[in-house]
Each structure stands twice: as C-alpha cells, then as structure tokens.
C-alpha cells in the first residue's frame, strides 16, 4: 500500500513540472513544519523543549513563519503568541552563533577542529544543511 502511495505521489510530483525529488522534499518539509506548529499549540512540554533547543535553521524558521501567517489561530490559541517564544529562541541562538564566530577572530589560536566545528555550526544554523 505504501509503495503504491509513494508511486502516486511521485507521478504527481513529475506532473508538477519541477524536479520530483525537490517537490517531494518540499512536501515532506511542509508536513513536518505543520506538525511542529500543531505541537507548539497543543503541547507545552514540546514548546519548552523546542524553545530550549537550538531551534530551526533560518531556512526552515522562515518557512514556519510563512505557514503560521496563513493560520493566525489554531485550536483557539493565537499562533503569534506561540511564535513569539520561537522568535526569541532564534534570536538567542543567532547571538550565540555570532559570539562563537567573533571568538574565532578574537581569541588566541584554537585547534583547527574546534575552529571548523564553530564555523560548521554557524553555517548549519544559517543555511540548514552543509
């Protein structure tokens, strides 16, 4: 059954005129972003866990905001109130990334591994995948 469903989805993606892999990846990302948005509304523990994590990369954070704009209210709860926490967490994480990158420039020499590790974390935050 799943194989048949995936084939139907793949044919639909081929008919879109776009790369079928990119199309399916985008559809899957949107499903996950919708799910995260619903969990943020419904589950306080999930909201806290996401708030205390490093959040989403900027690419997916931007997509999340775009999806949220189309749905100002979910289950009677204002999405903007919930996203406020996410925005604050993103700002804190970007500030942390900025501090790490500044330390690379200003600090005494550090190991090449540590330096590259900080650079890769910053790139992942900004662009999602590296």
| Mean pLDDT for the chain overall | 79
pLDDT value at 130 more than 60: no
pLDDT in tens, 98-125: 887 777 666 656 676 777 777 777 777 7
* C-beta separation of 89 from 51 below 8 A: yes
* C-beta separation of 102 from 31 below 8 A: no
pLDDT value at 33 more than 80: yes
- Which domain does 31 fall in, by range? 2-127
d(CA 78, CA 68): 10
The two structure tokens encoding residue 22: 């990119």
- Radius of gyration of the chain measured on its C-alpha atoms: 19
Q: How confident is the model at residue 29 (pLDDT cuts 50, 70, 90)?
A: very high
pLDDT value at 27 more than 80: yes
Please state the domain count of the chain. 1
d(CA 26, CA 28): 5
């Amino acid at each position: 059954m799943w194989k048949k469903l995936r084939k139907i989805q793949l044919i639909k993606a081929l008919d879109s005129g776009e790369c079928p892999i990119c199309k399916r990846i985008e559809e899957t990302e949107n499903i996950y972003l919708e799910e995260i948005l619903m969990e943020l509304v419904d589950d306080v523990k999930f909201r806290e866990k996401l708030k205390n994590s490093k959040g989403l990369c900027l690419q997916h954070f931007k997509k999340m905001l775009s999806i949220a704009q189309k749905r100002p209210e979910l289950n009677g709860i204002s999405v903007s109130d919930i996203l406020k926490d996410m925005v604050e967490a993103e700002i804190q994480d970007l500030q942390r990334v900025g501090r790490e990158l500044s330390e690379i420039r200003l600090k005494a020499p550090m190991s090449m591994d540590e330096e590259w590790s900080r650079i890769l974390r910053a790139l992942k935050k900004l662009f999602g995948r590296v």
